[in-house]
Structures are given as structure tokens and as C-alpha cells.
Amino acid sequence: MKSILKPLLMIAAMAMGMTAAGTLPALALVELNVNKGNVEPLPIAITDFQGGDALGAQISQIVTADLKRSGLFAPIDKSAFIEKITNPDAAPRFDDWKVINAQALVTGSVSKEADGRIRAQYRLWDTFAGQQMAGEQFFANDANQRRVAHIIADAIYERLTGEKGYFDTRVVFIDESGAKNARKKRLAIMDQDGANVRYLSDGRSIVLTPRFSPNRQEITYMSYESGQPRVYLLQIETGQRELVGNFPGMTFAPRFSPDGQKVIMSLLRDDGNSNIFAMDLRSRSTTRLTNSTAIDTSPSYSPDGSKVVFTSDRGGRAQIYVMGADGSGQTRISFGDGVYSTPVWSPRGDLIAFTKQTGGEFQIGVMKTDGSGERILSSGFQQEGPTWAPNGRVLMFFRDSAGGPKLVSVDLTGRNEQPIPTANFASDPAWSPLLE
């Protein structure tokens, strides 16, 4: 199996200061306050990176697409540019950029090193302050061209918003093809923008609900390959697979603990109900967390590992509950009008995303961890299964329309919904942490 998560050994970052700019007194630089309710997208000009033939334009295009899709930036059309950047290391003519209202400007260059590596560098300029805000260079091998662009986009995003980016990430999902009553489902992985799709299973067995390990190297998922549906562990790089636990019945709805040492999942009881168990991947010991004559499923750890949020229909219809990681203090937190499921704890710890069914609709929403402050971000005929971007500001989920599911992202304002391009139908997305 081809290595796809090989550490980016060749990437090295180096800060680049402009001697002149570096000595300027600190001015109030342009910044985006993403905590405001209604963020006006920041007009930004992203010029083609110099050199590298088509590669310079391609890097610029990937950076532009990433920033635009975030909803926080409004990249300015290149045809409006007045100054043609010829030396990306020299200060631009700021007036030329102010007049087209570019509050921030990105210049850069890309070149081939003697050893075959690519060297990409960028500079971020505050046009109204007339000063450089950031500058870095990266070295990468050919296979990581797109990653370099995503890393630059993350750096710009972080410099301008004060929040970590999420562009240098991957998504595991289920690729779906064929008729609805004979759907072929394959485990697949791609970059967060839909590029570089690779298949991790052959489609002979139904596979569902893949989830990333915090170490980025493993996936836990459910497969019917043995006949009885069970939870498996897959090493992405080697393709090595193993069964998680040796339980008598169906195991499903797996997720990793934040330290990657445990998988938490549902186990079917003989009476037809489902309870939640955690298995330590090293000692192989299992711990029962719930013991109810109900459906208890979709467990998800809080980022500090101290709590678990899950779905249960013990009160009649499916609702969201929180308990300690040892199963203590099981408490219902959702009380709205509808059925709640697929709770997922935000990586920031502040919110729980969920799917809610009400009034014939499926909604994607968030609530605080005590169940208060519910906000619906997206409503549709059939949609479910949110997953968090690692910075906790964007969700991805899947929506059924026009014959099958497709992936969609939405930010926490609910105003910026974006389709994720996939060749086939796609479902069950799970976002990776930022790559290393």
C-alpha cells in the first residue's frame, strides 16, 4: 500500500523578515475578529507565486480556494490587480493595493532546489499599515506540493484571525457508488478540499463510520467483512488491519479517545439493546460504561478525556447524554423538540455538535456541553453526522440529495455552507487533526 500519511520530512519552515519592515514601529495591523457574530469577509489579494512555471499559479490558486471557502476572506479577482509583482521580496506599491481595497496582500515565490526539493516562500502584507505581517519559507518534495499551499493558507489564516487554521488536514469518508439498493461502499481518504482521493478498501464489504486517530496514522471503522458487523483498526500507511476486541455480538459506532489509547464503541447485547464499552488498545482490557435496556450509541470523548457524550433512547426517543469517562453521572442534556443523535464533542471543548430530527427535517446544530444555547446551523431533508475541523470553527457532514449523499461543510455562524467536491457519492466524513 502506498504511503499517504508519510510525515512531511522535507518541509522546513523559516521565518523571513524584511529588514526595513522589521524595524518599523508596531502599528495596529489588519485582523479579523472571528468571535464577532457577523464577520465581514476580509478583502485579500493573493498574487501568483513567482517562478516554478505553473506551480506558482497553482499554489496561489490553492491558497485562494482555502481562504475563500473559510468564509472569512474575500479574495479579490486577479483582473482587478494594478501592480504586477515581479519581485516578491520587495515591498509592493501599497497604494496600488489600497485602491482596490485589498486590506491584505500575499506575494510569494517557488523554485526548485538543486536536490530536487521545492522551495516555496510567502509574504503577507498589511497594505493600509504599509508593512509586512508575516513571511516564511518551506521546503517540500514533489508529492507535497499541495500541502505546502495548505500550510501557507493556514499560516495566513492564523496570522489574520488569531485562530489555528485547518487546511493542512485530511478527511476519511465512505465513498458510495452504484444503485441505492446495492450501494458499493469504500473506505477513502482525501485532503480536506477533496483533492488526492485514495481508497483504503475494495468495496466488497459494507464499511461505515471511519474515525481518525489523534496520531493521524490509524482509522477505526466498522465493517461487515466477517459477516457479523464489527469494529476494526486500520494502519493507514501499512494497510494492516485488526479486529478491535473479541466481542460476541455486533460492535459499532467506534471513536478514539483523545490520547489515542482507547476505542469507545457500542456493543450489541443479546436482548437487542446496545451499550457503550471502551477498550484499551494496549492492554486489550474492556470497560463497560453503560448498562441500560436501551440503545446507547455514538459515544464521543471530551478533548480532555474526562467525559463522554452519547445518544440514548432510554427516555423513549433518542436524546443526548453526558457521563464521566468511567460511566458515572449519566445525565441527559438535550431537551429540545425532536430526536437527537450523533453528538460529537468539539476539539476546543466548548460545544457539542449533533444531528436533530424535527418537523420532517434533519438539522445539524451545536449546543453547549450542558445542553444550553442550542443553535441550528443547517437544515435539510436528509443530512447527518457532523465532524469537527481541528480548530473547532467548521463542521463537515453529509447530505442526501439527488440520489445519494455528498459532503458539505458549514461554519459556526451557519452562514457559510460549502460543498466538498467528490467524484462519487460520499458519507460519514471524519476530519483529521492538523497534519504534522
The residues binding another protein (CB under 8 A) are 179-181, 183, 185, 206, 208-209, 222, 224, 227-229, 250, 252-253, 266, 268, 270-274, 295, 297-298, 311, 313, 317-318, 339, 341-342, 355, 357, 381-382, 384-385, 400, 427-428
Triad 218, 222, 226: Cα angle to 5° = 115
Residue whose C-alpha is closest to residue 106's, from 40, 170, 42, 173: 42
Q: Is the separation of the CB atoms in 158 and 151 below 8 Å?
A: no
Q: Work out how close the CB of 253 gets to another protein at its nearest, in angstroms, rounded to a whole number.
A: 4
DSSP 142-170: GGGHHHHHHHHHHHHHHHHHSS----S-E
Q: Work out how close the CB of 371 gets to another protein at its nearest, in angstroms, rounded to a whole number.
A: 18
Q: Is the dihedral of CA 32, 35, 36, 37 positive or negative?
A: positive
Q: Considering beta carbons, is residue 125 or 221 the nearer one to another protein?
A: 221
Q: Considering beta carbons, is residue 78 or 183 the nearer one to another protein?
A: 183
Q: Work out how close the CB of 170 gets to another protein at its nearest, in angstroms, rounded to a whole number.
A: 21
Q: Considering beta carbons, is residue 83 or 313 the nearer one to another protein?
A: 313
Q: Work out how close the CB of 183 gets to another protein at its nearest, in angstroms, rounded to a whole number.
A: 7
DSSP 376-417: EEEEESSEEEEEE-TTSSEEEEEEEETTEEEEEEEETTS--E
Q: Considering beta carbons, is residue 97 or 340 the nearer one to another protein?
A: 340
Taking each helix axis from N to C terminus, what angle separates 145-161 and 54-69, rounded to the nearest 10 degrees?
A: 40
Task: Sort strands 339-345 and 351-358 into parallel, antiparallel or unpaired.
Answer: antiparallel
- The sheet that has 184-191: what strands, in order across it? 198-199, 184-191, 170-177, 425-431
Q: Considering beta carbons, is residue 137 or 274 the nearer one to another protein?
A: 274
Q: Work out how close the CB of 387 gets to another protein at its nearest, in angstroms, rounded to a whole number.
A: 13
Task: Sort strands 131-140 and 13-15 into parallel, antiparallel or unpaired.
Answer: antiparallel
Q: Considering beta carbons, is residue 16 or 294 the nearer one to another protein?
A: 294
Q: What does the DSSP 8-state code read for residue 32?
A: -
Q: Work out how close the CB of 372 gets to another protein at its nearest, in angstroms, rounded to a whole number.
A: 23
Q: Work out how close the CB of 91 gets to another protein at its nearest, in angstroms, rounded to a whole number.
A: 54
Q: Considering beta carbons, is residue 37 or 360 the nearer one to another protein?
A: 360
Output helix, strand, coil percentages for the chain, rounded to the nearest 5: 10, 40, 45
Q: Work out how close the CB of 378 gets to another protein at its nearest, in angstroms, rounded to a whole number.
A: 15
Q: Considering beta carbons, is residue 126 or 176 the nearer one to another protein?
A: 176
Q: Is the dihedral of CA 222, 228, 233, 236 positive or negative?
A: negative
Angstrom distances, CA of residue 256 to CA of 210, 214, 260, 336, 432: 11, 7, 6, 28, 12
Q: Considering beta carbons, is residue 37 or 316 the nearer one to another protein?
A: 316
Residue whose C-alpha is closest to residue 207's, from 188, 187, 236: 187
Q: Is the separation of the CB atoms in 229 and 250 below 8 Å?
A: yes
Q: Considering beta carbons, is residue 58 or 357 the nearer one to another protein?
A: 357
Q: Work out how close the CB of 430 gets to another protein at its nearest, in angstroms, rounded to a whole number.
A: 12
Dig out the grid coordinates for 113 from the structure: 532546489
Q: Work out how close the CB of 12 gets to another protein at its nearest, in angstroms, rounded to a whole number.
A: 42
